[in-house]
């Protein structure tokens, strides 16, 4: 059920954001860095894809390349919670790691069908040049942040963090032991686990009134969708489906 909710969010966001001008084309990958965050739920979709495609050896090798990651100090919902409570959050001063993502091959994403929301929502209105930031409208950023909050809520209590930490951390689960066995340095799993955070429930959105109005069709498309006869809004507001133990 959680996977179906996740896919509903991906599809609804894609449809809602379609009219926003984008310069992004296949093979343009300056934005594909080692700075992507995701939930365990999204990580498990990637691991399932790796196995279905027979990419276990490639995946294990790619994860071991110069694994310098950056670790956010707060999850998106922890940050929102602090803001809603009027608590100042300090900038970690972490410059981020903007080296190319290890899942790129000839400037194309090998795991494209299962890329996490953090990759799906990223687009620029003008072609990014080296050293220049992407240009995103305020409404795109607001909607993407709200979607990330819902996805984190969906994956609450599980791993949340840099993609290059969450993926090896998940390999500690018995169903992925075969992939874990391919790592030359098995200690990378425990080191990655220690760098992850736990996803938190949604404390509320950080949206201005005018942003809420523009994003309301997106919320409506997601929340009114029914899964097994239940509206997603009711599922998210009620007791969440029990996640797999980590
Ligand atoms: S965000 Fe920038 S670098 Fe990434 S695909 Fe779009 S134009 Fe290219
Ligand atoms: S997972 Fe794919 S889309 Fe995301 S940053 Fe890496 S190469 Fe780019």
Q: Is the pTM of this model over 0.95?
A: no
Residue with tokens 């500690």, as numbered in its chain: 172
The finding on whether 24 has its CB within 6 A of some atom of ligand 2 is: no
pLDDT of residue 134: 85
The total of structural domains in the chain comes to 1
Domain of 43 in residue numbering reads as: 2-237
Determine which residue's CA is closest to atom 4 belonging to ligand 2.
Answer: 119
pLDDT of residue 28: 87
Examine residue 242 and state whether it is found in any structural domain, yes or no: no
Examine residue 243 and state whether it is found in any structural domain, yes or no: no
Examine residue 154 and state whether it is found in any structural domain, yes or no: yes
The finding on whether 222 has its CB within 6 A of some atom of ligand 2 is: no
pLDDT of residue 174: 86
* Ligand number with the minimum distance to the CA of 122: 1
Determine which residue's CA is closest to atom 5 belonging to ligand 1.
Answer: 24
Quote the ligand 2 centre to 109 CA distance (angstroms): 5
Residues in the chain: 246
Ranges of residues in the chain whose predicted pLDDT is under 50: 244-246
Determine which residue's CA is closest to atom 8 belonging to ligand 2.
Answer: 32
Examine residue 162 and state whether it is found in any structural domain, yes or no: yes
* Ligand number with the minimum distance to the CA of 29: 1
pLDDT of residue 241: 56
Residue with tokens 């999204």, as numbered in its chain: 42
Examine residue 244 and state whether it is found in any structural domain, yes or no: no
* Ligand number with the minimum distance to the CA of 62: 2
* Tens of pLDDT, residues 57-92: 999 999 987 767 777 889 999 999 999 999 988 755
Name the residue among 19, 41, 7 with its Cα closest to residue 167.
41
pLDDT of residue 243: 53
Examine residue 152 and state whether it is found in any structural domain, yes or no: yes
Quote the ligand 2 centre to 203 CA distance (angstroms): 28
Examine residue 246 and state whether it is found in any structural domain, yes or no: no
Cα(169)–Cα(178) distance, rounded to whole angstroms?
A: 14
Sign of CA dihedral 208, 210, 211, 216: positive
């Amino acid at each position: 059920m959680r996977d179906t909710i996740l896919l509903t969010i991906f599809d609804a966001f894609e449809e809602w954001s379609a009219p926003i001008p984008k310069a992004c084309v296949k093979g343009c990958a300056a934005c594909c860095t080692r700075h992507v965050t995701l939930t365990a739920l999204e990580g498990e979709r990637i691991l399932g894809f790796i196995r279905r495609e027979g990419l276990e050896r490639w995946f294990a090798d790619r994860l071991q390349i110069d694994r310098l990651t950056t670790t956010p100090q707060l999850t998106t919902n922890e940050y929102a919670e602090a803001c809603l409570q009027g608590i100042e959050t300090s900038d970690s001063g972490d410059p981020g790691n903007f080296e190319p993502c290890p899942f790129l091959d000839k400037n194309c994403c090998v795991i494209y069908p299962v890329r996490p929301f953090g990759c799906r929502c990223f687009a620029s209105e003008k072609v990014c040049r080296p050293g220049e930031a992407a240009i995103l409208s305020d409404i795109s950023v607001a909607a993407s942040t709200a979607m990330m909050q819902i996805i984190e809520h969906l994956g609450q209590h599980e791993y949340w963090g840099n993609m290059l930490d969450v993926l090896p951390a998940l390999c500690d689960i018995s169903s992925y032991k075969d992939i874990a066995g391919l790592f030359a340095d098995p200690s990378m799993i425990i080191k990655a686990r220690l760098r992850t955070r736990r996803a938190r429930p949604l404390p509320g959105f950080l949206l201005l009134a005018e942003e809420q109005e523009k994003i309301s069709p997106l919320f409506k498309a997601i929340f009114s969708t029914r899964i097994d006869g239940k509206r997603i809004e009711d599922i998210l507001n009620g007791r969440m489906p029990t996640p797999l133990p980590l």
